[in-house]
Amino acid sequence: MNKLENPLQNDIAGPAPRHRTTQVMVGNVAVGGGAPIVVQSMTNTDTADVQGTVDQIIRLANTGSELVRITVDREEAAAAVPHIRDGLRKRGVTVPLIGDFHYIGHKLLAEYPACAEALDKYRINPGNVGFKDKRDSQFADIVEIAIKNNKAVRIGANWGSLDQELLTKLMEENANSATPRDARAVTREAMVQSALLSAARAEEIGLPKNKMVLSAKVSSVQDLIAVYQDLASRSDYAIHLGLTEAGMGSKGIVASAAALGILLQQGIGDTIRISLTPEPGGDRTLEVQVAQELLQTMGFRTFVPLVAACPGCGRTTSTTFQELARSIQDFIRTEMPEWRSRYPGVENLHVAVMGCIVNGPGESKHANIGISLPGTGETPAAPVFVDGQKVKTLRGPTIATEFKAMVIDYIEKRYGQGAGSSEAVTAAE
C-alpha cells in the first residue's frame, strides 16, 4: 500500500494554497490578492430609515463585520445613503458601505450623485441590471459611474435571477449537442458565463480588474461548490462567497458552513457572507458571528478568544459548567469591540471551561486559562490552570464569579499596556 492509499501515513492535512486573485480595495479594506479573508454582512432595515440603518450597521461592525451591504432600491433609499455614511462617521465607525442595486441602479446612481460618492462599492446583478436592448446600456451606465467615482463593483450572478437570454442560448446549444449535459450543469455554466462575460464587458468600458469582485450565488450546496470551482479555475478576479437563501437557524448555518468550508479549504474565496434568515425579532449579527467562527475554526483568521467547553454527559448533571461557559462566551463577545483596541492580541486567548475530571484538567492545561469544574460525585473543588500550571482551586458558590474575575485579570496582565510574558502572568497568580 503506497502513501496515498494509507491515510495514516499521510502528512498532516491543511488547506490548499489560496487561489491567487487580483486585489481590490473596498474603502480601506483589501479583498483578494492574498489579503485575509474578509467578513461581510447585510442590513435588513429600510435604508430610508437613516437612524435605524446606522444603528444596525454599528451593531454589525462592532460584532466584526468588515464590509456592510445596504439595499438601495428606490429614491428615498438613495437619498438616505450619504446621511447614513455621515451618521456612521460621527460615531467613529468607518466600515465600508456596499450599495445593493437591482433593476434601476443606473437611474438611482445617476440621479443621486451623493449616493454614488458615499458608497465604497456597488453590487449589481447581471441578470436584472436591464433587459433586452436596455441591458448593455444600463450596465455601462453603472460601470461608468463607478469609474468616475473610483469605486469597486461586485458583479453578482444569482441562481434565482439568472440572465434568461444567456440561459436559453446555452440550453438550446446543449439540446443540439451530440453529448448533452443535464440541465443543472448547463445552468451552472450560465452562472459562470454571466459573471465572466459581464466582467469582460466592464473591462472594455474601462473598469480595471482591481476594481471588480465576482460572485455566483446558488442555494444548493453541491451546485455552489461546482460553480465556484469553475469560476476560480477560469479567472483571477477577487471572489465573494455566499450560499444564497441558506435558510433559518441550524439549517442555514450547516448548509453555509458545509459549502463555504469546502471552498475555503480548496483555497477559493476572498470575502464571505453567511446569508441567514433571522428568527422573528432575531439578532442580525448572528451571520457575522457564524462567518467569523467558520474562518476561525478552520484556522484562516482569529477574531475572538476561543472558549472550549465539553458537551456534557452523565458525569455532568450539574448545569454549572454550561452556565459558566455561556457567561464567559457572552462576556467576551460583548467586550470585544473595546478589547480590540485596548488589548492587542486578545483574540488569540484560549479559555477552557470543563465539566468533570475526565478531560477537564488536560484541556485546561492546554488553554491560556482554564477551569475544571467538579462532575457528579466528585469533590466539590475546581482547579484553575494558567498557561499550563495549576494556580488555584476554587470552592463554594462563588466559583463562577471568581473564575470570571481571574479571566479578566489574565487579560489585563497578558494583553494590557506594558503586559509581560506569559511566565510573568503565571507568577503573578
Binding site, by residue number, is 310, 313, 356, 363
Cα-flanking dihedrals φ and ψ of residue 246, to 5°?
-65, -35
Which of 125, 39, 43 minimizes the C-alpha distance to 80? 43
132, exposed or middle or buried, with CB in 10 Å at 0-12, 13-18, 19+? exposed
* DSSP labels, 326-348: HHHHHHHHHHHHHHHHHSTTGGG
Half-sphere exposure of 204 (CA within 13 A, CB side): 9
Pairing of strands 382-386, 369-372: antiparallel
What region does 76 belong to: left with phi over 0, alpha with psi -120 to 50, or beta? alpha
Structure-block grid coordinates of residue 12: 498532516
Pairing of strands 97-101, 67-71: parallel
- Helix (H) or strand (E) run with residue 172 in it: helix 164-175
Pairing of strands 389-394, 247-248: unpaired
* DSSP labels, 196-227: HHHHHHHHHHT--GGGEEEEEE-SSHHHHHHH
| C-beta separation of 302 from 347 below 8 A | yes
What is the three-state SS of 241-282? ECCCCCEEHHHHHHHHHHHHHHHHHCCCCCEECCCEECCCCC
Cα-flanking dihedrals φ and ψ of residue 186, to 5°?
-65, -40
Q: Which residues are annotated as a binding site for [4Fe-4S] cluster?
A: 310, 313, 356, 363
Which of 182, 155, 186, 160 minimizes the C-alpha distance to 171? 186
Q: What is the Cα–Cα distance from 74 to 78, expressed in whole angstroms?
A: 6
In eight-state DSSP terms, residue 20 is P
Q: What is the Cα–Cα distance from 84 to 53, expressed in whole angstroms?
A: 7
Which of 306, 251, 304, 313 minimizes the C-alpha distance to 279? 251
Q: What is the Cα–Cα distance from 342 to 248, expressed in whole angstroms?
A: 35
